[in-house]
Structure 1
Amino acid sequence: MYIARKPVFGHYEYSLKESYYEAPYWKSRIILDLGPTPEDYITYYSEVAFSIDLEEKLKSLGYQIDQWELEKLFFRFLKPEAQRIITQFTRPRRIKKIRKHFSIKDIHPFDIKRRLVLKFNISNPKKIMHIPYPFLSELTEKSRDELENYFWDLEDRLKYREKIKYLLVIFDLLYLYPRIKPWELDEIFINNFCKILEDESFRMGLSVEELHRTYFCRYVWMYFDMILFFPIIKKYKAHKKSIYFEASKIFNIPVEELERASIEDLFKIFRKKAKELHPDKGGSHEKFIQLRKIFEELLNIKKYS
């Protein structure tokens, strides 16, 4: 059971759904329509005490579900204070988790790629797509509708810069966009996008139009919203490269070593060099200021990369 959303004329409509198997694919069906405001089903008794008024309704429909399960489903619709308290006081259950046996072949490569990028924030997931990580079992026994809502929720947690990288990686654009012209990048994106839409094994019984209109249109919005940001990324990368090059000369350390260094390592390198260049130790005041400036630039790169 999961909560699905659907874009409708500038807002989302929500529904409680479940996935079921109907050969040859997993499909989805609506259990209950929640409308545009699922939070209306939450009754608050105080700032953090609440109940979700669906237990009896679902029982009448033949579904046995308790408040704990409903709380997990409706967590994102709770007030921020209630979310904070739940997160703070919820402890992992000390029950040994039984690993679900699955075959990596049962999961579509595009789903595997997306999950790996979201999990590890990597630039080349193809190298590890053959590995059956236990968390990939989350992608089995789900309809396309449930999978897309699952990914949608995870993607919403990404920061803006992370979304750019994510989009470029999953559509195989990361290593292309700095080297080709914008319209060529657009064409490759559209081609890769359409290949996935036309893949019947990916659609799992949905039509191309339904998959695009309900789910995949978000990637089109993301791409053409972010394409304007690409020149800024190029400028940032050039700036980043120049900072590392300048720092390499000041610290007398290879660029590769500086790129690998952690923030703690940078502090050690800075302190060592600061002792040499500090005016009280006979160093140059101008060089010491330059050292501090380049150190702060490196810290910013490490913090926000």
Structure 2
Amino acid sequence: MYLARYQAEGKTRYAIRESYPDDDMFRSRDLIDLGEDPGAFLRYPGGNAFYVHEAIEDQLRSLHVTYDMDELDEVFWAFVRPDIQKAQAYFRRRGASGANHPTDDPSENLNFHLFDRRRVHFLRFGQTDQGRIGMASPKLFKGLARKSRDEIEQHFMLSEQILKPHELKSYVFVIFDIQRHFSEHFARSMPQGLDQNAVDTLFVQDICRLNRDDRFWADLRLKNHLHEYLVRYLVTFFDNDYGRSGYLEDLLQSWMNSRRGFRFPERKPAVSFKEAGSIFGISEDEMRRLSKKELSRLFRRKAQEMHPDKGGDHDAFIHLADAYREIKNKKK
């Protein structure tokens, strides 16, 4: 079992789901809808204890779901009162250290999609250079074993919360392996030194490619628009800049100075509010009045409408992303 978070009618809702084997893959199914606040199903009898309301156990039994209480507690753990979490943290760590993993078969872990392996590797080590990922221990990926695609994506949505703001764009650059398109020796370690116009174009191509990968989506059906599990990467990439590093900047500057013919990539002309309004399909005044949150919401909607996989023009999609980034930076 696992806790799934999803959007419905503009609100964040939660459900208990489970992954189950079906022939050669794992599928997911809804078990119990928890509404907008899973914490409403928790009870505190006193001291540092808590338990899940009996109604949840009754529903699981009626569905013939096999589980243990630790598994059920884990589903609701994020919504347990902070003081109870703090009091039980030590005992949870001790229990986790001796927990049995779902599989210890290295061959099963090696079959994981490379996109998943890149995500696990970056979240564990924070390295932009994954040239040695093929040598990583299979144990690193065992947490993804015997899970449906939906459960894996829910897992990453939660795991990615540890990323710091300056890591976000580099994370997307790495997990989509954009560096493979470039011959520059620093492509693996300093993506900010590459031609960003080319990087943007290649990222759109790669996210479209993953969107069409039936092996990756497995039990989830392919869609004719950008999958909701990929939208966050689109927004993260165009909504953030690479983290600044004095060491990296000095190293890049030294490399540039050693090559007299080096030139910075030509900068794109600034996008005006009028031009951005035309791209987004609203007036200049409306564009000026949008808050950052409203602009981000509009970008998400337009990005799905104009996505190349939905028949949109590739160049128009890039212009949309550029306009969004320019206007966002102009707003307070």
Cα drift, residue 110 of structure 1: 0.9
RMSD of the TM alignment (CA)?
2.9
Q: Which residue of 2 aligns with 1:152?
A: 157
Q: Deviations over 1:165-187 (max 9, x none)?
A: 32221122463742344332211
Query: Mapping of 1:95-106 within 5 angstroms?
Result: 95=98, 97=100, 100-103=104-107, 104-106=109-111
Cα 1:38/1:236, change in 2 over 3 Å = farther
Residues in 2 aligned to 1:105 and 1:91: alpha-carbon distance in whole angstroms: 28
Q: Which residue of 2 aligns with 1:124?
A: 129
Cα 1:234/1:87, change in 2 over 3 Å = closer
Query: Is residue 2:34 matched to residue 1:34?
Result: yes
SS of aligned partner of 2:106: coil
Cα 1:165/1:71, change in 2 over 3 Å = same
Q: Which residue of 1 aligns with 2:13?
A: 13
Contact 1:17 1:31 in 2 (8 A): yes
Query: Is residue 2:193 matched to residue 1:189?
Result: no
Q: Which residue of 1 aligns with 2:297?
A: none
SS of aligned partner of 1:74: helix
Cα 1:131/1:88, change in 2 over 3 Å = closer
SS of aligned partner of 1:69: helix
Cα drift, residue 211 of structure 1: 8.7
Query: Mapping of 1:124-273 within 5 angstroms?
Result: 124-173=129-178, 175=187, 177-209=191-223, 212-226=226-240, 229-230=241-242, 233=244, 237-238=248-249
Which amino acid is the alignment partner of residue 102 of structure 1?
P
Contact 1:42 1:51 in 2 (8 A): yes
Q: Which residue of 1 aligns with 2:75?
A: 73
Q: Number of paired residues?
A: 239
Name the stretch that deviates more: 176-185 or 191-200: 176-185
5+ long unaligned stretches in structure 2: 180-186, 254-332
Cα 1:126/1:201, change in 2 over 3 Å = farther
Which amino acid is the alignment partner of residue 206 of structure 2?
N
Identity score, percent: 28
Residues in 1 aligned to 2:2 and 2:161: alpha-carbon distance in whole angstroms: 16
Q: Which residue of 2 aligns with 1:293?
A: none
Cα drift, residue 28 of structure 1: 0.7
Query: Is residue 2:113 matched to residue 1:108?
Result: yes
Cα drift, residue 130 of structure 1: 4.7
Contact 2:106 2:138 in 1 (8 A): no
Which amino acid is the alignment partner of residue 145 of structure 2?
T
SS of aligned partner of 1:106: coil
Cα drift, residue 237 of structure 1: 4.4
Contact 1:51 1:67 in 2 (8 A): no
SS of aligned partner of 2:193: coil
Residues in 2 aligned to 1:165 and 1:154: alpha-carbon distance in whole angstroms: 16
Residues in 1 aligned to 2:202 and 2:234: alpha-carbon distance in whole angstroms: 13
Cα drift, residue 197 of structure 1: 1.4
5+ long unaligned stretches in structure 1: 243-305
SS of aligned partner of 2:244: helix
Residues in 1 aligned to 2:176 and 2:151: alpha-carbon distance in whole angstroms: 21
Contact 2:110 2:138 in 1 (8 A): no
TM-score (norm 2): 0.63
Residues in 2 aligned to 1:51 and 1:211: alpha-carbon distance in whole angstroms: 41
SS of aligned partner of 1:7: strand
TM-score (norm 1): 0.69
Contact 1:5 1:149 in 2 (8 A): yes
Structure 1 segments (4+ residues) deviating >6 Å: 239-242
